[in-house]
Structure 1
Amino acid sequence: MGIALEVFGDALPVAERYAAFLADAGVERGLIGPREADRLWERHLINCAVVAEAIPEGATVVDIGSGAGLPGIVLAIVRPDLSITLLEPLLRRTTFLNECVGMLELPNVEVRRARAEEAAKDLSVDVATARAVAPLERLAKWALPLLRPGGELLALKGERAAAELDEAQPVLQRFGVRTAELLQVGRGRVDPPTTLVRVVAERAPRRTKGSRKRSS
């Protein structure tokens, strides 16, 4: 738990309660696979927590297709300065998320049952996050309308990150994004580091702690 303590600091007890709830109710309700319960920390919680490196202080964040709260709830735990909306269309998942938020006493989190297309009518944020929701080509269509000018999509991706970025170029160009790149966060704490696709809407991006891998 040394890495977990380094990543979560004083918030580690809250993260531990969340992990226990995921391993119990999360598995029971089908939000987490049974095989994932034994590797929640390295594969899920720490992997998501290091995304905080790429998010500016005091940002408003929407977690698209939040599911079990990854990465949205993890980010809320590790970064209480963020204002986070967990966006999820399925009732059973929003019920789970509301239970998590209440149990963990997270005042910086709102759970909203809606699709991204619906939320875009009245939601405008600094950062959109997503993990295992959809290929970037589709995700960009949902996320970019939720961002204010200069806002950023941070999509957690795996081995196909570069390929997805290439495939999404026509969509990104249609939206007129300024920057689309791969970042790695969590170096020295996660092995391998967490890979993000970072897409910036309409104007040049802020600097982040993540290392730049590719630009377009």
Structure 2
Amino acid sequence: MTSDDVSRETPPAPSAPAEARGVFAAGLPTAERFAELLAHDGVIRGLIGPRETPRLWERHLLNCAVLGELVSERSTVCDIGSGAGLPGLVLAIARPDLTVTLVEPLLRRTTFLDEVVTTLGLGHVEVVRARAEELHGVRRFDVVTSRAVAPLPKLLRWSLPLAHPRGAVMAMKGSSAQEEIDDARKQLRTLGAGPASVHTLGIGVVDPPTIVVRVEAAPVRD
């Protein structure tokens, strides 16, 4: 199947649900434009599957945007394994007060992200082509986010070194989030991490709600 075939078979992005206005506020037109880019270019370039288009808002945009409930104002955010910009790019649209860095190792994905950032005029978003480990000791952020990147033990090895001493890792997970925390106890101790907790976000906004594991980075020692 050629890209032209995919383009013809790809349905347009669905209209934004009523809940989106409350989540994105003044950024809703930008979120709608991003939804169009995902439904067309994102599908053609293999960043999301064609079957995801009808549920872009519930499964991807709103699902990611509610992560902002845990992020303090004017934070610096690093989204590792950003892929199609989920959740980092969505969070940047919903929260223009944030400074967001999208970290993604694959060229075809960073090319898409660069194009989207330019098209949407997101001056507070930076795209970095790299593996998370390449930024260890080079960059640090208030918050490190991810979605469906890796099991929590491995994810913590990549993410925690990128967080400021009083920052946090926030990983979007599924219903087994607490079990993942239990499985990662050894890594939490080895890395000197702070407390880990499970948060349910977006109740009444997105169904099912978004489940996030939040791990505090090691506090500064005197």
- Which of the five TM-score ranges fits, normalised by the shorter chain? over 0.9
**Alpha-carbon distance between aligned partners in 2 of 1:29 and 1:120, rounded to the nearest angstrom:** 30
1:24 to 32, 40, 61: 40
2:98 paired with 1:82? yes
Of 124, 132, 154 in structure 2, the residue corresponding to residue 138 of structure 1 is 154
How large is the Cα RMSD of the aligned pairs? 1.0
Query: Deviation per CA, 1:79-117, whole angstroms, max 9, x where unpaired?
Result: 111000000000000000000100110011000000111
- Report the equivalent of 2:19: 3
Task: From 171, 189, 196, give the equivalent of 1:173.
Answer: 189
Q: Which residue of 2 aligns with 1:92?
A: 108
The runs of at least 4 consecutive aligned structure 1 residues that moved more than 6 Å come to: none
Q: Which runs of 5+ in 2 are unaligned?
A: 1-16
Q: Which whole-Å deviations, capped at 9, do the CAs of 1:4-23 have from their partners, x for residues lacking one?
A: 11111111110000000000
For 2:50 and 2:182, locate their aligned partners in 1 and report how far apart those are by CA, in whole Å: 34
2:68 alignment partner, one of 52, 76, 85: 52
Give the aligned length: 204
Which stretches in structure 1 are left out of the alignment for 5+ residues?
A: 205-216
Instruction: Describe the superposition over 1:45-101 as per-residue Cα deviations: whole angstroms up to 9, x where unpaired.
Output: 000000001001000000000000001110110111100000000000000000010
Equivalent residue in structure 2 for 1:184, among 178, 181, 200: 200
- CA distance in structure 2 between the partners assigned to 1:24 and 1:168 by the alignment: 38
In the alignment, residue 86 of structure 1 is paired with which amino acid? L
Aligned partner of 2:87 in structure 1 is 71
Residue of structure 2 equivalent to 1:14:
30
Residue 157 (structure 1) aligns with: 173
Change (3 A) 1:178 1:121: closer
3-state SS of the aligned residue for 1:189? coil
Paired with 2:149 and 2:179, the residues of 1 have a C-alpha distance of 16
Cα distance in 1 between the residues matched to 2:26 and 2:73? 18
Partner secondary structure for residue 69 of structure 1: coil
User: Structure 2-normalised TM-score?
Assistant: 0.90
Secondary structure of 1:31's match? coil
Alignment partner of 1:122 out of 130, 138, 144: 138
Q: 2:213 aligns with which of 197, 200, 205?
A: 197
The Cα offsets for residues 23-57 of structure 1, whole Å up to 9 and x where unpaired, read as 00101111001110110000000000000010010
